[in-house]
Amino acid sequence: MNPILFAIPVFLLTILLEAWWAHRRGLKVYDIPDAVTSLHHGVLSQLTGAFTKVAGLGIYIAVYETYRLTEWSMGNVWLWVLALILYDLCYYWAHRMGHEVNLLWASHVVHHSSEYYNLSTALRQTSTGSLLGWAFYLPLAVLGVPWQMMVTVGLIDLLYQYWVHTELIGRMGVLDRILVTPSNHRVHHGQNDYCIDKNYGGILILWDRLFGTFEDERDGEKIVYGIRKPLKSYSPIWGNLHYYADLWRESVAAKGWRAKLGVWVAPPGGWTDEPIEHFEPSGFQRYTRQTPSAMRWYVALQHALLWPLFVHFLGIVKDIPTADALVYAAIVAVTAVALGALLECLSWARWLELLRLLGVGVAFALLPDWFGFQAPVALRCAVLVFAIGSAAWLLRRSTTAQQVPA
38 and 170 both lie in a single domain: yes
> Residues 39, 29, 14, 94: what is their CA dihedral angle, to the nearest 10 degrees?
60
Indicate whether 217 belongs to any domain.
Answer: no
Q: Which of 149, 183, 211 is the last residue of a domain?
A: 211
The conformation of residue 115, written as its DSSP 8-state character, comes to: S
56 and 199 both lie in a single domain: yes
Lowest mean pLDDT among 59-68, 76-85, 271-280, 296-305: 271-280
Residues in contact with 265: Cβ distance below 8 Å, sequence separation at least 6, in sequence order: 101, 102, 103
What sign does the dihedral 196-197-201-202 (CA atoms) show? positive
What number of residues does the chain have?
Answer: 406
Indicate whether 372 belongs to any domain.
Answer: yes
29 and 119 both lie in a single domain: yes
Query: Could you tell me which residues are beta bridge partners of residue 370?
Result: 373
Nearest to 43 by CA among 356, 339, 301, 324: 339
Q: Helix, strand or coil for residue 179?
A: strand
What pLDDT is attached to residue 405?
41
pTM greater than 0.85 (yes/no):
yes
Indicate whether 58 belongs to any domain.
Answer: yes
What pLDDT is attached to residue 270?
84
Indicate whether 266 belongs to any domain.
Answer: no
pLDDT band at 18 (very low <50, low <70, confident <90, very high): very high
Count Cβ atoms below 10 Å from residue 366 Cβ, excluding itself.
9
Query: Could you tell me which residues are beta bridge partners of residue 179?
Result: 204
200 and 304 both lie in a single domain: no
Cα angle value 310/293/333 (rounded, 5°): 20
What pLDDT is attached to residue 272?
80
Indicate whether 269 belongs to any domain.
Answer: no
Q: Residue 191, CB half-sphere, CA atoms under 13 Å: how many?
A: 24
What is the amino acid identity at position 388? I
Cα angle value 395/400/404 (rounded, 5°): 135
Q: Which of 172, 189, 211 is the last residue of a domain?
A: 211
Task: Write the pLDDT tens digit of every residue in 307-366.
Answer: 999 999 999 999 999 999 999 999 999 999 999 999 999 989 999 999 999 999 999 999
84 and 198 both lie in a single domain: yes
Cα angle value 22/26/30 (rounded, 5°): 45
Q: Helix, strand or coil for residue 218?
A: coil
Structural domains in the chain (count): 2
50 and 148 both lie in a single domain: yes
Indicate whether 246 belongs to any domain.
Answer: no
Query: Could you tell me which residues are beta bridge partners of residue 373?
Result: 370
Give yes or no for residue 163 having a pLDDT over 50. Answer: yes
Q: Helix, strand or coil for residue 370?
A: strand
What is the gyration radius of the CA atoms in the chain, in angstroms?
22
202 and 298 both lie in a single domain: no
**Spatial distance between the Cα atoms of 320 and 369, rounded to a whole number of angstroms:** 13
Indicate whether 262 belongs to any domain.
Answer: no
What pLDDT is attached to residue 398?
58
What pLDDT is attached to residue 1?
67
Residue 209, Cα to own-chain centre: how many angstroms? 26
What pLDDT is attached to residue 290?
86
Task: Write the pLDDT tens digit of every residue in 25-66.
Answer: 999 999 999 999 999 999 999 999 999 989 999 999 999 999
49 and 140 both lie in a single domain: yes
197 and 300 both lie in a single domain: no
Q: Count Cβ neighbours within 10 Å for each residue of 132-147 and write b for 16 or more, e otherwise.
A: bbbebbbebbebbbbb
The CA-to-CA distance between both ends of the chain, in Å, stands at 43
Indicate whether 264 belongs to any domain.
Answer: no
302 and 176 both lie in a single domain: no
Give the burial class of 101: count Cβ atoms within 10 A of its Cβ; 0-12 exposed, 13-18 middle, 19 or more buried. middle
Q: Which of 188, 211, 234 is the last residue of a domain?
A: 211
Nearest to 289 by CA among 302, 279, 281, 299: 299
Question: Domain range for residue 298?
Answer: 293-403
Alpha-carbon distances of 290 from 31, 175, 286, 294, 351, rounded to whole Å? 11, 40, 11, 11, 20
Give yes or no for residue 274 having a pLDDT over 90. Answer: no
Q: What percent of the chain has pLDDT over 90?
A: 92
What pLDDT is attached to residue 366?
95
52 and 164 both lie in a single domain: yes
Q: Helix, strand or coil for residue 265?
A: helix
28 and 171 both lie in a single domain: yes
Residues in contact with 54: Cβ distance below 8 Å, sequence separation at least 6, in sequence order: none
**DSSP labels for 37-51?**
HHHHHHHHHHHHHHH
Alpha-carbon distances of 24 from 94, 168, 186, 341, rounded to whole Å? 38, 12, 22, 30
